[in-house]
Structure 1
Amino acid sequence: MRQMMIEDEKVLRPGIETMLGLPVSNIGAVETTSSLTNVSLWVDLDAAKQLDRFQPMLDAGKPYVAKGATFERPINYTTPWQLQPVSKI
């Protein structure tokens, strides 16, 4: 499944990168458990919900399900505050 995700990047990345309100997105894989994760930080809930309607993402999920993958619904949290690295200059 990790290889599938690497291949899907070619299709998914261009559309996701053009979405408004997405400062950070990290995709991860744990080979020992065949797990994949996507942690994205969005500026607000409306921005986050863009992925719910992003057809290439919805289509990309079907082959994973056919191989036995399950998906957890996204959890969208509001961000009351955040940390940034402190400059050490």
Structure 2
Amino acid sequence: MATEQLPATAVIRISQAVFDHAQFPDVREMSLTTSDFLIPAVKELPGLISFYAGVSPEGSVVNVSIWDSEEHAKQLDTLTAMVVDARQAAEKAGATFVRPIINYPIDWTI
């Protein structure tokens, strides 16, 4: 069942990182701090529908974004603010990224 609210080519991009739960305060602070430069950089990219970032005290970080196409979702793979600046800040705070990052075609929404 295809959704009528999103383009037929829309995708969900999920990026995850893990960390020792004792590092939660540092990783949460990193998430809040990197938002200062990530939000404007990501908002400039064409095709963005929405973006969510969260840090769990259980030791996991997730970035979930919705894009109008896989091509547009893949822009994050080369966005300097994401792949250099934010990654370095996350690793310094103790987070390790899970690879690969996967883009999922959207079948339906509520």
Higher strand share: 2
Shift of 1:47: 0.4
Q: Report if the CA contact (8 A) 1:2-1:34 is conserved.
A: no
Note closer, same or farther for the CA distance 1:67–1:29 as it changes in structure 2 (3 Å cut). Answer: closer
The percent identity for this pair of structures is 33
Question: What is aligned with 2:73?
Answer: 48
Greater length-normalized contact order (CA 8 Å, ≥ 6 residues apart): 2
Contact 2:30 2:93 in 1 (8 A): no
1:26 aligned residue: 52
Native 8 Å contact 2:54 2:62 kept in 1: yes
Partners in 2 of 1:45 and 1:63 — Cα distance?
Answer: 26
SS at match of 1:74: strand
Show structure 1 runs of 4+ deviating over 2 A: 81-84
Unmatched 5+ residue regions in structure 2?
1-26
Letter in 2 for 1:14: P
Q: TM-score, normalised by structure 1?
A: 0.81
One-letter code aligned to 2:78: R
What is the aligned length?
82
Unaligned runs of 5+ in 1: 85-89
